[in-house]
Structure 1
């Protein structure tokens, strides 16, 4: 019985190393395809990523809190629990330092490879898509550094002019008379009517538990996905 349990643990560790290698290898392959194969990123976005995002966004949009934030906190707690557990096993001499290092290494590789894979699947491939100018056919003139400075100065003046018209609460923060979340979604949907590349489902922005702000998942179009 003891040998069987030992074999299962060894298989588990071996599986983690193999899985990590496959995820990293597949991530590198996808990155290379997006980087060197023309049109692959646009194809991926249209036929794979859009379907994935629309499906997940519609489901997670029904949940009032940020699932991503909860997963992040749960993962941090899990890491702390594992550290305490390995420390106990080491000092109680139930596991040798060598075995603990092997286990920790296999776990870290899984976490890193999974993070890299998910990052490639969401942001990595999409970073090689045709840019907004190419997708919309907008005519953009070459701008000099002087014109950019002039624009920044103009925006600064306009912001200072509008600052006095902004309603603020007792805490000095911006006070809105309307639902900014709904207005944001409506605005993006209207822009999508003008620019088809921005059409799609926009999920509800989620309140962040430990910060007095909102994770605006609609900012930046549909390339960014925050559950």
Structure 2
């Protein structure tokens, strides 16, 4: 063999290695670029409400209509699968990496590089998806601003008028739903198509609520959700509206509509609460209407009880019919049973406390200064909306 032939043979052997190094470097560049874009988008989002409004109206729906459509085809929650992979897969992969680094002495650098790339892509995926599907839309104009709903202070008289209105409606609706031998609510409606139709029906009145809706998915490990005090969750990594299938069934329709509101860019909890109530109220299905009023009544009742005298509280509660009380108490009993549950993998009180702190921190990091208390602002939206419509 000539010197030229040897040189060519050596080059042919080295080329795949060089090519691989070039391929790996492009992966690093791609991840850095995606993270950089995410950082820039977050900075712009904090500075420009107009940009966030434009993004939510024109860009965010693209993810729902593509990725959301794909995950909706799955008969299970893809988000729950991703969580399982993260919880169990990542720790196991770290163990596998350590074992391989020890065993494959001659290929330690290569092994570490492969695992490093995997973790780099995971971090990039988390940062990018959270930015595109969650962080940016936290900084949009409020639902009231987007839909020209007045914002003003209200009197206690108006709040009590709203409470009485809800009681009148829910007392009537309580007679329209199915009940078991103990007088408790029995769910007869579906939890996907009816919810989608109810939400889509709001599109003619409120911005961004028309068009395609993802399929709501039940979480298999719902008891763990209950331990975290969660009835539902919008999962940006799968563009899914997930719900707790173990909770009291009368709360399910409203909860699902709430999570679907998040998939339309209304990420604030008080706004999603209001949208869910409106969707349920406009639904042709009695289960949905009842569920919406049950959730709204709970919020308004809490507001009234913040200041009401004992006599006022008794007077208000006595106006609520027995059927509604049966469902309210059954719901409270469920959450009490979760708190008191024994022989669980994780302590309910500890899980709930960690979940509350994590949610509080997440909301405040995204600009929601009053944290979990923001849920109660739904009542202000209801007061402003109904007063503007002349219904209060």
State TM-score, norm by structure 1: 0.71
Match of 1:33?
44
CA distance in 2, matches of 1:147, 1:12: 68
Q: Which moved more, 1:68-77 or 1:111-120?
A: 68-77
Deviations 1:159-180 (A, max 9, x none): xx97x9786669x985302223
SS in 2 for 1:39: helix
Q: Shift of the alpha carbon at 1:115?
A: 0.6
More RCO (CA 8 Å, sep 6+): 1
Q: Shift of the alpha carbon at 1:43?
A: 1.9
> Which of 128, 147, 150 matches 2:139?
128
Would you say the 8 A contact 2:214–2:260 is kept in 1?
A: yes
Q: Which moved more, 1:68-77 or 1:124-133?
A: 68-77
CA distance in 1, matches of 2:49, 2:264: 21
Counterpart check, 1:113 vs 2:155: no
Gap runs ≥5 in structure 1: none
> Which of 186, 192, 196 matches 2:207?
196
- Specify whether residues 141 and 110 from structure 1 end up closer, same or farther in structure 2 by C-alpha distance, changes over 3 A only: same
CA distance in 2, matches of 1:79, 1:8: 29
SS in 2 for 1:179: coil
Which structure has the larger Rg? 2
Would you say the 8 A contact 2:45–2:52 is kept in 1?
A: yes
Deviations 1:82-118 (A, max 9, x none): 2242232233252687776666555433322221111
Match of 2:67?
56
Would you say the 8 A contact 2:38–2:131 is kept in 1?
A: yes
CA distance in 1, matches of 2:110, 2:73: 44
Match of 1:218?
260
CA distance in 1, matches of 2:121, 2:66: 26
CA distance in 2, matches of 1:49, 1:123: 9
Gap runs ≥5 in structure 2: 1-11, 223-243, 246-251, 268-392
Q: Shift of the alpha carbon at 1:205?
A: 0.9
SS in 1 for 2:211: coil
CA distance in 1, matches of 2:46, 2:143: 18
CA distance in 2, matches of 1:49, 1:76: 28
Match of 1:177?
188
Q: Shift of the alpha carbon at 1:11?
A: 5.0
Would you say the 8 A contact 1:123–1:224 is kept in 2?
A: no
RMSD, aligned CA? 4.2
Match of 1:21?
32
State TM-score, norm by structure 2: 0.45
State the number of aligned residues: 220
CA distance in 2, matches of 1:4, 1:178: 63
Deviations 1:139-162 (A, max 9, x none): 121258x799x67xx59x95xx97
- Specify whether residues 111 and 56 from structure 1 end up closer, same or farther in structure 2 by C-alpha distance, changes over 3 A only: closer
